Every structure is written in C-alpha cells, then in structure tokens.
Chain A
Amino acid sequence: MPPLADTQFVEATWIMVVKSLVIFAVIFGILPLMTVLERKLIGRFQHRYGPNRVGPYGLLQPLADVGKLISKQAFKPENAIGSLFVLGPLLPVLSGVLALAIIPWGNVQDGVGFYGIDVPIGILYFFAVGSIAFYGLLLGGWSSGSKYSLLGAMRGAAQLISYEVAMGLALLGVIMMGGSLSLVDIVEAQGDLWFIVPQFVGFLIFMLAGFAETNRTPFDMPEADAELVQGFMTEYGGMRFGSFLLVEYMEILVVSGIAAAMFLGGWMGPGPSFLDPIWMLTKMLGLVLLFIWVRATLPRLRYDQLMSLGWKVLLPLATLNVLVTAVLVVVT
C-alpha cells in the first residue's frame, strides 16, 4: 500500500489511534455546544435570549434535541429509493469526519504530531473529501422522491460548480506563498506574518466560498426553509435529519479550521507550545462566530445571484489574486 502520510515522520500505531480518538471526542464535544452557541447568539442578535430553559444557561438543549430526534420514527417515503435514501445522510458525515483529520492543532511535540494526519497533498485532500459531502446532498435529494428535495439537490449542484473553482484558486495564493500543500508546512511558513495580510482577497473569497460549501446563509439555497421546506432534507426525519444538521456544524468547524490554518497562522500564538491546540481552537471559534454573525445578518441570495457571484466576481478575482501572487513570489 502506498504511504498516505508524510513518510519522514513515523508514529506508533497506538499513538495514532489515541490521537484520532481524542480529536473525535473533542470535536464531538464541541459540536453540540456550537448549536447552543449559534441559537443563543442568533437570539441575542435579534434582542432575544435564545434557549435558556434546559439545564444551566440552556447548555443541555442539544441533549434534549437529540433525544427528540432519536425517538422519532425513521420515516421513508413510498417512492424513495431505499439504499440511496439511507446513504444520503451518511456520506456527509463520512466526509466531515475525514476532513477533520488534516486540521493541524500543533506541530510535532515529543514525537507526537498534533494533527490527525499530515498528508503531503494537504489541501487537495480537503477538496476531495469535502466534495463527497455534496454527493450525499445530491443523492439524498434525488432519492427522496419529492419535488422539494429534487429542487434542493439541483440547487446544491448548481451551487457546487459555482464556488468550488473559486475556492481552490483562493487557496492557491497561500499554497504558493507557503511553498507546500501540507497544512503543517503552511502554518510553519506563517511564523513572521499571517497570510491573511498578504492574501486578504484570498481570505475573503475563501470565506465566501466557505459559506457556500457549508450551505450557510447567505448561500443556503439547497435548504431554503422558506420556499423549499429544507430542500434536500424535506423527506428526512429523526436522526437522519439530525445527521444532516450535525454535518452542517462539522463542516463549519472544518472550513474554520482550514481558514485558520491557511490564513490566521494556525496554532501560532504567544505562550508555551502546549497551548498550541488552544490557540488553534480559539481562532476556529472566532471564525465560527463570524459564520453565526453573518447568518444573523444576511438574507438568502437567489441562486442565479450566487452563480453570477461565483463565476463573474469570485473566479476573476481569485485568478487575478493568483496571478499577482505568482508574480510577487517570483520577484521577491
């Protein structure tokens, strides 16, 4: 089997297992808290309190939600295509968990790399894995046998092709400046100056595309609860619906993580090196707050508006950004 990871750095198998378990546990501890945080913050943005009844400060709200979702019937429409209908919510979960692996929480310390896996193709892995999530969306929407789901899935497909190219090009500038595809190397290259300063345009484009990638407002047309009754999720109920929701938050974390590593200096921060994961988490949470803030602010775009934004604005801007960066990298 060809080596998946950087072959210069070898860890014991048990370390890898423990590492992945820790990452998994931490992320899945954060996800429910993120849902509460989002609902409470959105409430505050609208002069409300948000959930504050279940447990102290409403912190146990996600437990109640999950309890409700689990106890629901796993309903399947009559004309749904069974296997694909079940596969729909599973693929995004898979892609989200896989993408978590490359988020760097710190460099190698005491023989342990503070990341799931340092793949040499780094950011390509993120794109490859991230796109799998959309298969879940498309398959789920199409196999539901409902027109709302189909419309949601079609919008998802239209959205996918409009932002992914720009997203890739936005990161190309960072890759050129960092001189590597590996996220660990890119973070190491930001010792003096975070890439958000020279690559500000790239950061903006990446975040915009990130909103589209995670199906968040203002680009939540595949869901569009007002007109498509949750789009591709219409026919899903119970925990299948719950896993779609879970994945949305996981994708927010992943996109925030990639953005933090690529533009905000990853784990770089003052203090001893064991604080590195904390710094990374802080930066990620800052970006998560941005996601929530934008959701509380912006209305949903029409999907022709997203297409024209993606193709007519983001793509030329990203290309220009890449060209200028390339020239500057060669000159200096």
Chain B
Amino acid sequence: MSAAKNGNGFDPKTASYLDSIEVVEVQRGPEPGGLGGAYRAFGETLRGLKTTMARLVEGPMTIQYPEEKTPVYPRFRGRHKLHKFEDTGLEKCVGCSLCAAACPADCIRVVAAENIPGDRVSAGERYAAVYEINLSRCIFCGYCEIACPFDAITMGHDYEMADYDRRDLIFTKEMLLAEPIERTPLKSEGE
C-alpha cells in the first residue's frame, strides 16, 4: 500500500472505498439524432440492405417436408422393425419377451408358442404367436433393441406414424415384419 501512497497521494487511512475501485471509462457511441446521426443511420441501412441481399443470394434453406424429408442419422430411433433370417426366411424372434420386460412404457405384448417341427416359424424352440407394439405408448427409448438377444427387433428410421385412430397405432407382427412403404432418407457419410 505504501507504493500507492507514494504514487499519487493515495492514503489508505483517509481514502474512501470508491478510490480503491478501478474506474473504467464507459465507451459510448455518438449521440443519436441530428445530421450526423442521419448519416450514420444511412450507412447502417446500406449495410443492412447488403446483409439481406446476401441471404437472397444464398437461396432458401427450407426443406419442403412432404416432398423432401430431413435425412436421419443411422442411429435414429424410429418405428420398430422385426427381422427374419435372410437365408432361411425364418423369424429371428423366439418369443422370449425380454423386450416386453425391458420396455419402460409397457407397450410390447408378446405371446409365445411352440414351433411345430414340420412348419417352423422361427429359428428357435418357440416363436412369437402374437407380437404387438402399441406405438401410441412407445417412447422410442430403444431398450427393446438392447434387450433382444437375437437382434430380432431394431429401431427403424421411420417417423411418420400419425393416424386418425388409436387402434391403428397398435402394430402387429405382420406390420412390423413388412418393409416400410416409404423409406426415410438416411444421412450420407459426413453429413
């Protein structure tokens, strides 16, 4: 403190708190109004016009939704899909109900049945006789996908599932096995 005292008459005993605060000069712009203000406003107007024109040149960024769709990421969790083995055509699902157990929204219902040797439905001992997902309950968390020991259920990329009736949102096994009618575009590499 003595250095400050020697400097410009600063005495810690008599000085008030305000003297110890470093005072910063506030930088203010020129006063608005008047001819100078009008001149500056004119310049800023031209700058603004340039900015909007640059936006015009860039072109629209709108994605025209029903015709164009936003591409989704590969790990996007959309509507579920059930899978079959490509070579044998048998269903991967063995009706173990682990997905139903994992589901926090309790929207999956599985009723298992024994495979008949001559007419196999799935590759395992049993198969899902009933497999329903109530999509109006589903929260698309993807736990069913993680719980499945045979990768029989995965989350697809479709997100257009709106319907007029709640009953139509209960998807049966046939609907989940079928290929979706419209494919949602996938983001390409590095997009």
- Which residues on A are within 8 Å of B, measured CB to CB? 41, 43-49, 293-294, 296-298, 308-309, 312-313, 316
Contacts and interface: CB of A to CB of B under 8 A. Distances in A.
Interface stretch (B53-61, B106-114, B135-143): B53-61
A293 B46 CA distance: 11
B64 A49 contact: yes
Contact of B61 (A47, A294, A297): A47
B34 interface: yes
Interface string B92-120: 00000000000000000000000000000
A310 B48 CA distance: 21
Nearest to B42: A204
Interface in B26-40: 33-35, 38
B62 A312 contact: no
A200 to B, nearest CB: 12
Interface hub of B33, B51, B60 (most chain A Cβ within 10 A): B60
B21 interface: no
A293 B54 CA distance: 12
A47 B52 contact: no
B70 interface: no
Interface residues of B, number: 18
Given A293-B52, A308-B33, A313-B34, 20 more contacts: A41-B56, A44-B59, A45-B52, A45-B53, A45-B55, A45-B56, A47-B55, A47-B59, A47-B60, A47-B61, A47-B62, A48-B61, A48-B62, A49-B60, A49-B64, A293-B53, A297-B48, A297-B52, A312-B33, A313-B35
22 contacts: A43-B60, A44-B55, A44-B59, A44-B60, A45-B52, A45-B53, A46-B55, A47-B59, A47-B61, A48-B61, A48-B62, A49-B64, A293-B52, A297-B48, A297-B51, A298-B45, A298-B48, A308-B33, A309-B38, A312-B34, A313-B35, A316-B35
Contacts of A45: 52-53, 55-56
B65 to A, nearest CB: 12
Q: B interface, by DSSP: helix, strand, loop or mixed?
A: helix
Interface of B: 33-35, 38, 45, 48-49, 51-53, 55-56, 58-62, 64
A41 B56 CA distance: 8
Nearest to B49: A297
B64 to A, nearest CB: 7
Contacts of A294: 49
Contacts of B61: 47-48
A316 B58 CA distance: 40
Contacts of A309: 38
Interface hub of A47, A297, A312 (most chain B Cβ within 10 A): A297
Contacts of B38: 309, 313
A293 to B, nearest CB: 6
Nearest to A41: B56
Contacts of B48: 297-298
A248 to B, nearest CB: 20
